[in-house]
Structure 1
Amino acid sequence: MGNKNTVSHDYMSENEHFSDAINFFMFDGEKVVLPENLDTEDVNEEAIIHKYDRLFSTQKIRDIVKRVTIKSDKNTTYVIIGVENQSDIHYAMVVRNLLYDALCYSAQVAAIAKQNRKEGKVSGNAEFLSGFTKADKIKPVITLVINWSKDKWDGPRKLSEMMIDTDPRINEWIDDYNLKLIDPHDIEDFTKFSSELGDVLEFIKRQNDDNYINDMKREKE
């Protein structure tokens, strides 16, 4: 499993494939994000949790994280996007991604607070407590999972699917979280990919299809 994830990690670390996955998932194949719009982000995400006057440090390491610049006619948006490569189905992936996103938001707040304190920008009790001012903003975070398994993803796709049965009156107060997933077994139109990533995912889906395999062999003759 480790070797499989290493191969997929190296493959998806290439900006051409990373941007292609984003464009397929978020923009229906339109080339909105270009390879040159990507910058590598620190994959180590650390959050400091204050509890009972003690400090606990928790660190999670993502597969790949990049800063993405999305340009349109009217504005430019900066987003942090992580890709998690799964060679096997992870039945707690929803919670894992939720934690990744939360840690990334926490890290952004901590970085801004540190800079604010260094520059003496905080004033008043409210800003002093967090180091984060009313005017400060953080970048949105998106975590995308790619299923490289020969099996269709049969794990939960949102947090509510992992929950025990609860009183319906409680459900409206529970925030849900959706898994952002590219599963080749769900894809009908692989032409929406602009790189060989589409061919790779199509092979995963159709590797047991004799007609597809025979067509591939004839193309190579």
Structure 2
Amino acid sequence: MGKKDITLNAFLGDAHIFADLINGCCFQGNTLIRPEELLPLDSAQYTRTNQGKPGKKYRDLKKLWFQEEPIAILAVENQERRDFRMPVRCMRYDADEYERQIKAFEAEAKSAQSAFEPETAIRLLPVFTLVLYYGRDEWTIPRKVYDMVDFHRKARRLRGQVPDYPLRIISVKKDMDIELFHTELKEVMGILQRMDDKASMKAFFEADRAAFSQLTEQAFEVIVNCTNSRKLRKYITENREGGCVDMCRAFDEWIEDCRKEALIEGKKAGRREGEKKGIKEGEARLARLIQLLENEGRIADIFEAAKNAAVRNRLYKKYGL
């Protein structure tokens, strides 16, 4: 697991942030799930390897939603890179969780020395997995198992009969409405949405400086790591006083630095484009001169013009090039 995933997991693992994420992404920002109703669960899940041997996989985040009694298992998978296997991965994660619940029922019945009757004993908790994609490229690869299954020719008759498994995916840049969040998740995700547009990032920051001045250290870490900004980390360190960080000053310095870098890069790109244009024009000018000299049979002058700039410029002037 990379540094970005580690810091993002630590941030989203907070019950307030986790509840805000699910409520904002799935319930239009309505407070259906409350932080105090979320209980942490071990992210390790026992499964079977491709060789059929017992194995273990780790979810990014997994919590139990509890209101006087267990209601559901809620999980979040963070993705920075697109993964065409994701629908099957999540289907397997959820199936393993259901299998874990079944085994727990079996073990409970065994310990109570009672007969295990699946039709009455098993009442599985629903398992919900949300994929949070924060990569730069658009997620255009499969969003459900059906996108991966080849229903061609005779197999098309099975379409609709084979169970599908849709992927519950939220793209931070494309799908997420940060106005539905009520915690610092709004500020963090707002910055991630604008990583490629420094002007928009600055405007977003300026519009809510008060909120940015109160961000927690975990929120800082997510922004620093996900933006790959060593300079922002440097500015945060320099603006730390008495154990607190003046995030506004650090952001001001960082965004101003980003603006200057963008201007410099823009000027460099303009010079490179001008140089390319000049080279093309020079090549076209020389090609025209060679053609004119060749038409007049002046082969010796062609070689002389190619190696001697003074001769070349004199001939350009003579032929009006």
Tell me the equivalent position of 2:57. Answer: 60
Aligned residue type for 2:25: F
More helix by share: 2
Q: Which amino acid counterpart does residue 147 of structure 2 have in structure 1?
A: E
The equivalent residue for 1:154 is 140
CA distance in 2, matches of 1:70, 1:20: 17
Larger Rg belongs to: 2
1:174 to 162, 167, 176: 162
Report the Cα offset of residue 189 of structure 1.
3.2
- The C-alpha deviation readout for 1:170-194, integer Å capped at 9, x for no partner, is 1121111111112112236321111
Measured in 2, the distance between the counterparts of 1:151 and 1:178 equals: 21
Question: Which one of 88, 101, 104 corresponds to residue 108 of structure 1?
Answer: 101
- Report if the CA contact (8 A) 1:47-1:107 is conserved: no
Distance 1:48 1:207 in 2: 39
Cα distance in 2 for partners of 1:136, 1:39 equals 22
CA distance in 1, matches of 2:124, 2:98: 7
Q: Which runs of 5+ in 2 are unaligned?
A: 210-247, 253-321
Range with bigger deviation, 108-117 or 199-208: 199-208
Q: Which runs of 5+ in 1 are unaligned?
A: none
Q: Give the aligned partner of residue 134 of structure 1.
A: 120
Structure with more of its chain in strand, by fraction: 1
The alpha carbon displacement at 1:88 in A equals: 1.6
For the structure 1 residues 42 and 210, does the alpha-carbon distance in structure 2 shift closer, same or farther, using more than 3 Å as the test? Answer: closer
Structure 1 residue 109: Cα displacement: 0.2
In 1, the alpha carbon distance for the partners of 2:89 and 2:176 equals 28
Q: TM-score, normalised by structure 1?
A: 0.83
1:217 to partner: Cα distance:
5.5
How far, CA to CA, are the matches of 2:78 and 2:183 in structure 1? 18
**Are the structure 2 counterparts of residues 201 and 151 from structure 1 closer, same or farther at C-alpha, using a change threshold of 3 Å?**
farther
Task: Name the residue aligned to 1:32.
Answer: 32
Aligned partner letter, 2:143? R
Aligned length: 206
Query: What percent identity do the matched residue pairs reach?
Result: 27
2: CA distance, partners of 1:201 / 1:80: 24
1:87 aligns with 2:87: no
C-alpha distance in structure 2 between counterparts of 1:92 and 1:173, whole Å: 22
Which is bigger in relative contact order (C-alpha 8 A, separation at least 6)?
A: 1
Q: Amino acid of the residue matched to residue 131 of structure 2? A: V
Pick aligned residue for 1:117 from 104, 107, 110: 110
Where 2:5 maps in the other structure, the secondary structure is: helix
Q: Offset of 1:103 from its aligned partner? A: 0.2
Residues 121 and 133 (structure 1 numbering): CA distance in 2 closer, same or farther, change over 3 Å?
Answer: farther
What residue number does 1:13 align with? Answer: 13
Q: Provide the TM-score with structure 2 as the length reference.
A: 0.59
Q: Give yes or no for contact 1:104–1:141 (8 Å, CA) kept in 2.
A: yes
Instruction: Give SS of 1:182's match.
Output: strand
Closer/same/farther in 2, CA of residues 29 and 77 from structure 1, 3 Å limit: farther
User: In 1, distance between residues paired with 2:142 and 2:57?
Assistant: 21
Q: 2:91 & 2:14 partners in 1: Cα distance? A: 25
The 8 Å contact of residues 105 and 121 in structure 2, kept in 1 or not, is answered as no
1:122 Cα deviation after fit: 1.0
Shift of 1:48: 6.5
| Cα distance in structure 1, aligned partners of 2:205 and 2:17 | 25
> Hey, what's the Cα distance between the residues in 2 that align with 1:115 and 1:217?
53
CA contact (8 A) 1:46 1:58 kept: yes
Q: 1:65 to 1:2 in 2, by over 3 A?
A: same
Alpha carbons of 1:78 and 1:217: their partners in 2 closer, same or farther (altered >3 Å)?
closer
